[in-house]
Structure 1
């Protein structure tokens, strides 16, 4: 009886299996079709990069949320890039970025692409917007020609416009966000600049401006001027540092009067943001002749729990500079001059462990160089004020007297190093510190210093005695950044070191409360350094090597250490995957052994019967 039932049920069971397979295939096809249709209508993406490099940054999203009118984006793009196909990935990144802007902005962001190489009107618009074509070599069969490449963006908002003449993908979003902020804010925020530099000459029509040699921070002003309006101020007048300034820079202060210190105190106590670039020595370039500097700020800084040591920092992790050269004979018999580099400890090279990784001004930097820096002393700060160290030297640092010789001759470098080691064990010194909070005025209960500048006294508008009654103290959240070096932002340094410029831009964005723009500017630009095992060994074991024999022994030990660590990593890369696969195989085998050990249990349907 059971055999007859099984034979009668077999064809029905086979037809049921085929029917279920067809239904499953049809459902899968319908589900795939729905997913394709929805993916075309809905924009979604998963950015797995560490810094979300392919997603719109929070700063950009905040600016788009502030749009009150339509933002027109006109992309000048030549569609035909035959002969320059290598540019296609860059073009796709740009197009994807603009699509993201349009998707997030909705009706308020309109993107239009025009081709100036085929559209005469678009070419005229590009010329009017000052977007010029970049020539590139186009390789064709048997010939080499020069073609035009347009890759600019015009941004139109209300009655204003901004232009990115040529879009570079690595800084594309930052360039867009800065220009969009300029369109929305209408007026750029103002940075005040105080120093003893001579005034800038007046601009003459048709004559390019010439920078006086003594305006040593002019390149810093220009770098800041890309984002802010920079105004030279005189601290003799309290009105000169009104609270409309987003920050005030005091660069290399010299012989500041009591009235100037009072104005600075009142600006900070009123919730202002101040950057002080402090130096005890003024070094003339290129002679490197030092001259002492009296700032007039020491007592005021002491009242805030800060002091700039009258010493020069010597860091064993100094910047390598050329000190000499020698002529060697090559294998071909020719004479070749080879430069000799030595670490100049008075130019400390600050690396990751010397940069505050939690502060936006320094977190995205990989390296920073200082010149003749002074160590800072941090004592007890006023109540309601918090302190934060931004820059510090390496643990192999010493504080040398101010009167040491600055020469870079090999003999002097050896003498400076020996002098440093003779002072005892090295340690890390703070080089830049930030104080934030409500700053009490240091002139409470004191006589207000009078105006000493006759011109400023004539312009003073406040009646006598009114300043004491309107004395500011702990009004708002202030910020003070003190750096024991001003040479890091000199014209000559900024022109040679991109890292200094990045730090300056980050610092002023932080002072101007634009920390999101810092992350956007530095995204993807921080170096991912490979560990240098040789250098680690030398810093740990070879710090006190002075004789040639000791140096050779340190070199041999560092080479052995480096090769040993490299072998360990190599064997790990070779054996690691095999051990991992073997371990997974054993786990799989063990799981199957456990499954096979279980007794078989037959499964019956509700309709089946036995007799």
Structure 2
């Protein structure tokens, strides 16, 4: 028996030694390999986008990143340095030996002076202890240097948008700015009035104003026409057409509906700026009626005090094709539809966006035979309709009509036929983006989004779509996938029965409102028969509304109960399974010991 015990002990020691050797060997191998991270999030939130990797791999000289982070920062900033280290290690893996990363904790006076000279100043933090709250200073900033250029991130607030900041600054270090021109002379938006917010949030671009009375500089990469209110001359239209035929990009934001605000009240008018003379041969027509939607937001007037009466800014849900992929590989391919290995991908302008705002805009129509080069990339909801501009009073209630989805944004790419020279087409570099709303890119809307999000450049809805549009026109898609990342906690998808019940309730409410309006009209006209019919219809609609609301409430309660089950399952289910596994394993070991014969 003693020999058997000695043999068993020797075998156990040998097994432990071999296992330790294997583990040490694996650690040594993985220590010299690039770090490996598994990202199972749907949008690959914690993995560098393809555009960032491509940009980092283009570094040809030494690029130095110095991160200044004080030790022992209070929560939640004590975890920021670790997250910054992780993301910078991803940049190093993509860039190779040309990227050098250094972390410094400014403890000495010399290090603090060095940080401040580089543009990183200390920020105050509040540390809560048993003795009360204390105010402490600390550093959490990043400096990037390449050749004779330097970019600074003075304060890393959190890491949710850090890849966007780093990649933006990396592009500023490595590349020259793209030139974007804005058409002047037609009472539309200018760089001084209307587009200041867009400029401030697009640091990769150099904006300038141009006139189309003469030939447009071919060095300009994209021309923006934002809300013109007076007609473009034939010479201007011809010069813009020549610019597109030569491979330039054109963005047309509005041009058929004009908005003016007087005494804090908006008024609208139809304008014939001539843009359709240019756009119709390209493949799209901007209609003269305003596009309205029941899915809208109520906001203050662009001018006047906050106490002024609010009016409706009609905004349209930006809906994508259901068979699209979110993989950002499609951003590297060209052509309408953006085919890639994993199926039809989303267009870069609308990449991963769920909605945007298109206030006071016109619907679009793709012309016959243009579908191969013109792609509808954003539409209104099914509960939208068009209405004569002259009949609209922004302070009054609208009578909704469901006319189905309407094209809101159209992207044109490929061989675009000239609007003036028969038989002439552009080269494959030309791009045209058309939307019926000028406010999509103007300060009046972007400024209000800033106030709502309490950020200077929030990468949501209108901001993201505006910047994506500029990127696509300038043929620089590196930041689009980064901009689309949302690191907020993902929410569970609401089941179809809940959505359908709520949609039925909304439809019943709309029908009841229409019946009530019909009753009012019949009463004013003295039509007793019409009044009786309208009242009967209203009663039926009210009954249907109550039933639909009850179904929606029951469906929502069932869904809430199911979410509670998910929540408790995550909290208790996983620990229970681990405990059960331990008990089962323990019982199996006891059983094996009882069966050992000596």
TM-score by length of 2: 0.75
Give yes or no for contact 2:92–2:99 (8 Å, CA) kept in 1: yes
Report the count of equivalent residues: 501
In the other structure, the counterpart of 1:561 is 552
Q: How does 1:260-409 map to 2 (within 5 A)?
A: 260-285=236-261, 286-320=264-298, 344=312, 347-352=314-319, 358-381=346-369, 386-408=373-395
Q: Deviations over 1:553-600 (max 9, x none)?
A: 5145223333235426746985998xx99xx9xxxxxxxxxxxxxxxx
Q: CA deviation at 1:492?
A: 1.6
Deviations for 1:18-76, whole angstroms, at most 9, x for unmatched residues? 66555434332322232233333332222222222222222222122211111111111
2:40 corresponds in structure 1 to: 48
Q: Is contact 1:235-1:241 (8 Å) kept?
A: no
**Closer/same/farther in 2, CA of residues 136 and 543 from structure 1, 3 Å limit:** same
Decide whether the 8 Å contact of 2:67 with 2:103 is kept in 1.
yes
Secondary structure of the residue aligned to 2:145 is strand
On the 8 A contact 2:257/2:290 being kept in 1, the answer is no
Where structure 1 has 5 or more consecutive residues not aligned to the other structure, the ranges are: 1-9, 202-210, 324-338, 447-471, 585-611
The match for 1:72 is 64
In structure 1, the residue matched to 2:584 is none
Displacement of 1:297: 1.8
Which digits, 9 at most, give the CA deviation of each residue in 1:169-192, with x for residues without a partner?
A: 11111111111111111x211111
C-alpha displacement at 1:370, in angstroms?
Answer: 1.6
Residues 237 and 568 from structure 1, CA distance in 2 versus in 1: closer, same or farther, beyond 3 angstroms? closer
For 1:144, what is the secondary structure of its paired residue? strand
Aligned to 1:62: 54
State which of 429, 432, 443 in structure 1 corresponds to 2:409: 432
Deviations 1:518-537 (A, max 9, x none): 11122125885653646333
Residues 414 and 430, structure 2, Cα contact 8 Å, conserved in 1 = yes
Indicate yes or no: 2:86 matched with 1:119: no
Q: Is the 8 A contact 1:308 1:376 kept in 2?
A: yes
Query: CA separation of 1:371/1:356 partners in 2, compared to 1, >3 Å: closer, same or farther?
Result: farther
Aligned to 2:127: 138
Name the SS for the 2:291 alignment partner: strand
For the residues of structure 1 that align with 2:428 and 2:122, how far apart are their CA atoms? 50
- Residue 312 to residue 198, structure 1, CA distance change in 2 (3 Å): closer
Give the Å deviation of 1:400.
1.1
SS at match of 1:288: strand
Looking at CA atoms only, which structure, 1 or 2, has the larger radius of gyration? 1
RMSD between aligned residues: 3.5
Q: 1:442 to 1:405 in 2, by over 3 A?
A: closer
In 2, are the aligned partners of 1:350 and 1:394 still within 8 Å (CA)? yes
Partner Cα separation in structure 1 for residue 297 and residue 563 of structure 2: 35
Provide the C-alpha distance between the structure 2 equivalents of 1:282 and 1:356, rounded to a whole number of angstroms: 36
Give distance in 1, aligned partners of 2:281 and 2:187.
30
Counterpart residue number, 2:329: none
How do 1:440-451 and structure 2 match up within 5 A? 440-444=417-421
What's the secondary structure of 1:126's corresponding residue? helix
* 2:214 aligned residue: 237
Is residue 96 of structure 1 aligned with residue 72 of structure 2? no
3-state secondary structure, aligned to 1:266? helix
Cα distance in 1 for residues equivalent to 2:490 and 2:546: 26
Corresponding residue for residue 581 of structure 2: none
Deviation at residue 195 of structure 1 after TM alignment: 3.3
Distance in 2, Cα, partners of 1:12 & 1:35: 35
Give me the TM-score of the superposition, normalised by structure 1.
0.73
Which residue in the other structure is 1:593 paired with? none
Task: Please give the alpha-carbon distance, in whole angstroms, between the structure 1 residues aligned to 2:196 and 2:286.
Answer: 25
> Contact between 1:192 and 1:241, CA under 8 Å: does it hold in 2?
no
Question: How much does 1:440 deviate?
Answer: 2.7
Q: Which of 179, 201, 207 matches 1:190?
A: 179
Structure 2 unmatched ranges of 5 or more: 302-306, 325-345, 450-457, 517-537, 578-598
